[in-house]
Amino acid sequence: MPGGLCLEVCPAAAEGALRAPLIPGDRPRLAISPASCLYFKDQRSTLCQDICPEEAIDFDQAPRQVEIKADALVLATGFQPYPAATKERLGHGRVADVVTALELEQGLRDHGGPARPSDGRPPASVAFIQCVGSRERLGHNYCSRVCCGYALRLGRHLRARHGVAVSIFYMDLQSFGHALDDFMAAARQELNLIRSMPYDVYQGHDGQVVLEYQAVSGQPPVKGRFDLVVLSVGMAPNPDNPELAQACGAGLDHHGFLSSRPGVFVAGAATRPLDMAEVVAQASGAAQEALRYLEERP
Amino acid sequence: MKSPNRHGVFLCQGGHGGQESLDFKRLRWTAEAQGVPVFEVTQACAQEGAAAVARLAAEGGLDAFILGACPLAGPGGPLAGELWRAGLKPEMVQHLDLCQKPLGQTGQCLVMDGGALALDQALVVQAARFQPESREMEVSRRVLVLGSGLLALKAAQGFLLGGYKVLLITPGRRLAPPEPLLGLEAKLEATALARELEASERLEVVPRGELLRLAGSAGDFTVTVLDRQRRRWTRRVGAVLVTQGPATRLNSGETGLEPGPRVVSLAELLLWLSSPEHFRKKLPAQGQPRVGLAVGLGQEASPLSLRVACLAARGLVGELGAEVTLFTGQAKMASPDLEELTQEVRGLGVVFVKFDNHRPQASPRPDGVGLRYFEEILGRELSQDLDLVAVDEVPGPDQAWRGLARVLGLNVARDGSLQPDQVNALPTASARAGVFLLGPASGAWDLPAALDQVGQALAGARALLGQGKARVEEGRVRVDRRRCAICLTCVRVCPRQAMDRRDRRPAANPLACTACGTCASECPMEAIQIAGQDDQRFAREIGAAVSKSPSGLLAAPEREMLVFACANSAGPALAAARLAGRPWPSGVRLVRVPCAGKVDPAYVLWAFQQGLDGVLVLGCYEDACHSLTGGTWAAYRAGHLSRLLTEAGCDPRRLISSGVAPNMHAQVMDMVEQARQRVEDLGANPLKTQARVRDFLSRFTVRIDETYAIAG
């Protein structure tokens, strides 16, 4: 039974060891997540392998080398969301109710509403901190382009659908698109936009998260209290890009993103931070380049 | 075109054998009453069960069949693969969700209540099934490119390399005109490209040409051009690429920075900077020149403006030793290496003054401009005297641009682009199939983003035109010539402008048409029908959705509600919600439509007339509609219908129209549940009793009619 037998027997299915997508037609139908799979932990459970009538699961499978001859190569390896825990100051992993925007969005998708990780209650106030892993002089010295847009949209969604009071801490709002001035006017009206970057995040006594920030220069810092703090993580290059670039002959820029070379074409957000529409455009362009390369080859 | 004639129904008994329930028997009787062969299988969600379905379908020589089972056996289950293996097409199956509680839950598979009605509806859909024949359509392999700059030349190069012909209409006299904002490199590249392309025989350049008319539709446009010699001629083209943008004005907003000798555009400043000797004469002879650069003080700017301002600042400091202040609204950094460029410029001593809630006020000075402003970080008022201020630009009112938009059949958005505010139009599509928008025409002013769009538009146009022949579906949209009054409503409402006029009658261009059905719903003569999705089918499907139990006349039946679900948004969301284990609420029937634009107001009225207690229309959000206008139509019709319902004595709150996204499986069932609750609170539809009496009487009417028919 697809999505059945292995899911039913998996003792760690609730922790996400085995996942099935909810959109019909999404592939793969089922996937094992090594992070929570018991076999990857201590080889305790092979129940899914034993029960699968199709013998589709094989834990003993060894890596093997396969040789494929190809005239051109397309790298579409994407990006990684900036690992928020590396910014200890912002409390991810240290303060329970500090989550990344990705985690918030996953929660919204799976449970239909926002919830505080500490007690599962819906938050009444949420703060977004922008530029987590973007626009840093030492480190990721570029704007990730998408974070302001998603934070503003998530913020408006939280307010409209769940009645949450939303504050957004930012440097410069990087929002783009059609009807932008209307969108920004609505966002300014609905959200509390604060041009300041909190420099400390810690657990308050009352269960809330405290953000310290400077509102006006020369005046004492302000302490903001929120039920939930969301880190708007940026788009970081994959950590293995240097090895990949070397192995495939792709270009590597000083941020760690990839670029195309004759015969090796890089598509999508592996090249630079891009939003959804731009990724579509960029990747179609890369496909066209690859096509032309193949056509022009003798 | 042919309709499948051999149908069948497969009913899954679930994982358990043994005693079959009355509900299951009812399903079988429903199918048998229609004279359709019924097959019973077990575990259609498993490989073995699916294989049995495929084998039986092949042996029975079926053209199409319904599989009534749980969502696990639906799309994404093993059946598609098994059908392939049996040499059949996966499209032949119509999945019907009949299970009360799907997925993973162990225990018995039970038939959902209302299952027999759902099967009745599915049989109606099955009978109306339509398999279009495909045919080859000849399309033009010539492409019209509007523009003369780097984008236009890049696009033209792509098409010429792909073997296409290119008609290039340029606004100016020559190719590769100066585009100061794009920088020297872009200029050099454009010039080299122009030289390379001019040698091509397949490129036809019309300098300072005017596009008078764009008739026809995707793959088969006819353009009428007025050239510089005032000659008027036509060409057939398959696709159109717009690479130019509207004229611009200073983005001064409320600052009072009026264009003049001391207030210029950034582009003008860059031109001046290209010859510093002349530039120096424009500035005061003594002392360090003080220059202000203003970006994004009116409308939100693009990263291109900030990049240009930074490059100008670097030039001003380097060439003239100027003191430069950069005044900016939201500084748009989202462009490759722009963050580093701003840091470099700051390192040169350029001061950035950022405004969030305030704006500077300009006042003219002899030989300069004074700026007073509230510095938000310091929290106090400051003022500065400047010798020169350069301001970024935004699209301005441009009559010629509006004229071009009108010829193309597009609207100018407030940001000057020709693209509808629709995520599904991104990145390069327009509201007219076959017309692609690049750069400023699509709202992308930044060069890297615009250059990426060239590849996307090339891919789109090449997919459309292929090698001069395209495979299209025949007979999907039918226009009844006897009914058509040539009012051209369909031409106006088509979201992709796929309706052509052939032989002075409207006809859908299958290359551009997505069969969303908006035209069929809006046609005042009901002359347009979408094959397989015609009005007759929906009338029968809605009729089948109402319970016909004879006790209904006397007993108080439960509330019945109809959900019209758009196949692009609500369909996948509901399917995913079922896969996630949400039970199907009782008394709720589903009708799938290709787009909310297909929900003819008549369907809603029929539903109420048939005695349904409530109607929920679930379409895409207005700015995320897959056929661009479906959500807008749904919202508009909801307003119109509520007036009609009030007139008919039916509470308009019984009709609910709502937007939903395909990934909202966590919310969509709650929306259905809320609507059901509201209908529950409103009580029975006052038209219900009438409907039931009518239904009861109709049984006799039919007999009388038959008698007459025999007697005649």
pLDDT in tens, B15-67: 655 556 888 888 999 999 888 999 998 888 888 889 999 999 999 899 899 99
> How is domain A83-233 classified at the CATH fold level?
FAD/NAD(P)-binding domain (3.50.50)
Q: How confident is the model at residue B149 (pLDDT cuts 50, 70, 90)?
A: very high
φ, ψ for residue B622 (rounded to 5)? Answer: -60, -35
Residue B316 lies in a domain: yes
Q: Does B101 touch chain A (CB under 8 A)?
A: no
Q: Are residues B21 and B149 in the same domain?
A: no
- Record the tokens describing residue B135, joined without a space: 């045919």
Q: Are residues B374 and B520 in the same domain?
A: no
Q: What is the mean pLDDT of each run of 10 residues along chain A (298 residues)?
A: 66 79 69 85 82 82 92 96 93 95 89 90 97 92 95 96 96 89 93 94 94 87 96 96 96 96 96 94 92 85
Quick check: B143 pLDDT over 70? yes
Q: What is the pLDDT of residue B87?
A: 87
Q: What is the mean pLDDT of residues B126-145?
A: 91
Which 312-331 residues of chain B touch chain A by CB within 8 A? 330-331
Of A90, A5, A82, residue with least CA distance to A48: A5
Quick check: B693 pLDDT over 90? no
Quick check: B3 pLDDT over 50? no
- Record the tokens describing residue A150, joined without a space: 């998603």
Task: Identify all chain B residues contacting A256, using CB atoms and an 8 Å cutoff.
Answer: none
Task: Identify all chain A residues contacting B103, using CB atoms and an 8 Å cutoff.
Answer: 3
The chain A residue lying nearest B103, using CA atoms, is A4
Q: Does B305 touch chain A (CB under 8 A)?
A: no
Q: What is the mean pLDDT of residues B271-277?
A: 88
pTM: 0.90
Q: How many domains does chain B have?
A: 5
The H or E element spanning position B192 is helix B183-198
Task: Identify all chain A residues contacting B331, using CB atoms and an 8 Å cutoff.
Answer: 172
Pairwise CB contact (< 8 Å): B334 & A7: no
Q: Give the residue from B513, B530, B547 where a domain finishes.
A: B530
Quick check: B690 pLDDT over 80? no
- Determine the residue type at A241: N
Pairwise CB contact (< 8 Å): B333 & A143: yes
Q: Does B437 touch chain A (CB under 8 A)?
A: no
Report the gap between the CA of A205 and the closest CA in chain B (Å): 31
Pairwise CB contact (< 8 Å): A178 & B451: no
The enclosing domain of B188 has a CATH number of 3.50.50.60
Q: Are residues B359 and B415 in the same domain?
A: no
Pairwise CB contact (< 8 Å): A219 & B423: no
**B102 touches B45 (CB < 8 A):** no
**A180 touches B421 (CB < 8 A):** no
Q: What is the pLDDT of residue A5?
A: 72
Count CA atoms closer than 13 A to B540's CA, side-chain side.
16
What are B390's strand-pairing partners?
A: B264, B293
Residue B683 lies in a domain: yes
Q: Are residues B369 and B310 in the same domain?
A: yes
Q: Are residues B688 and B560 in the same domain?
A: yes
Q: What is the mean pLDDT of residues B120-137?
A: 89
Task: Identify all chain A residues contacting B579, using CB atoms and an 8 Å cutoff.
Answer: 3, 20, 22, 24
Q: Are residues B293 and B215 in the same domain?
A: no
Domain span holding position B116: 1-131
Task: Identify all chain B residues contacting A288, using CB atoms and an 8 Å cutoff.
Answer: 158, 455, 458-459
Q: Are residues B509 and B569 in the same domain?
A: no
Measured distance CA(B507)–CA(B256) in Å, rounded? 53
Same fold, A73-80+236-296 and A83-233: yes
Which 2-61 residues of chain B touch chain A by CB within 8 A? 15, 43, 45-47
CA B651 to chain centre: 33
The chain A residue lying nearest B570, using CA atoms, is A23
Closest partner residue to A277 (CB to CB) among B75, B415, B427 is B427
Closest partner residue to A23 (CB to CB) among B336, B339, B572 is B572
Pairwise CB contact (< 8 Å): A142 & B667: no
Residue B470 lies in a domain: no
Q: What is the pLDDT of residue B707?
A: 43
Q: How many CB pairs under 8 A join A and B?
A: 172
The enclosing domain of B499 has a CATH number of 3.30.70.20
Choice between B102 and B101, residue whose per-residue pLDDT is larger: B101
Of A9, A91, A128, A24, residue with least CA distance to A57: A9
Q: How confident is the model at residue B704 (pLDDT cuts 50, 70, 90)?
A: very low
Pairwise CB contact (< 8 Å): A288 & B427: no
Q: Give the residue from B116, B131, B146 where a domain finishes.
A: B131
Pairwise CB contact (< 8 Å): B379 & A217: yes
Q: Are residues B389 and B403 in the same domain?
A: no
Q: What is the pLDDT of residue A2?
A: 46
Q: Are residues B348 and B444 in the same domain?
A: no
Pairwise CB contact (< 8 Å): A281 & B452: yes
List the single best residue of A6, A10, A22 to mutate versus B (max B Cβ within 10 A).
A22
Report the gap between the CA of A254 and the closest CA in chain B (Å): 10
Q: Does B334 touch chain A (CB under 8 A)?
A: yes
Cβ neighbours around A184 below 10 Å, total:
17
- Determine the residue type at A38: L
Q: What is the pLDDT of residue A11?
A: 83
List the single best residue of A288, A292, A296 to mutate versus B (max B Cβ within 10 A).
A288
Q: Which CATH superfamily is domain A73-80+236-296 in?
A: FAD/NAD(P)-binding domain (3.50.50.60)
Q: Give the residue from B465, B486, B515 where a domain finishes.
A: B465
Q: Are residues B426 and B373 in the same domain?
A: no
Average pLDDT, chain B: 89
**B475 touches B609 (CB < 8 A):** no
Q: What is the pLDDT of residue A99?
A: 97
Q: Does B382 touch chain A (CB under 8 A)?
A: no
- Record the tokens describing residue B432, joined without a space: 């007219």
pLDDT in tens, B212-235: 999 999 999 999 999 999 999 999
Q: What is the pLDDT of residue B549?
A: 61
Q: What is the mean pLDDT of residues B613-633?
A: 94
Report the gap between the CA of A113 and the closest CA in chain B (Å): 9
Measured distance CA(B225)–CA(A151) in Å, rounded? 47
Pairwise CB contact (< 8 Å): A288 & B459: yes
The chain A residue lying nearest B44, using CA atoms, is A1
- Record the tokens describing residue B166, joined without a space: 């290119």
Closest partner residue to A217 (CB to CB) among B378, B414, B572 is B378
Percent of chain B with pLDDT over 70: 94
Q: Does B158 touch chain A (CB under 8 A)?
A: yes
Q: Could you give the 3-state DSSP secondary structure of residue B508?
A: strand
Q: Are residues B410 and B365 in the same domain?
A: no
Q: Are residues B275 and B307 in the same domain?
A: yes
Q: What is the pLDDT of residue B502?
A: 79
Report the gap between the CA of A258 and the closest CA in chain B (Å): 13
Q: What is the pLDDT of residue B308?
A: 96
The enclosing domain of B612 has a CATH number of 3.40.50
What ipTM was estimated for this complex? Answer: 0.88
Domain ranges of chain A: 5-51, 73-80+236-296, 83-233
Q: What is the pLDDT of residue B262?
A: 93
Residue B217 lies in a domain: yes
Q: What is the mean pLDDT of residues B114-131?
A: 90
Measured distance CA(B567)–CA(B564) in Å, rounded? 9
Q: What is the pLDDT of residue B705?
A: 46
Q: Could you give the 3-state DSSP secondary structure of residue B145?
A: strand
Quick check: B517 pLDDT over 80? yes
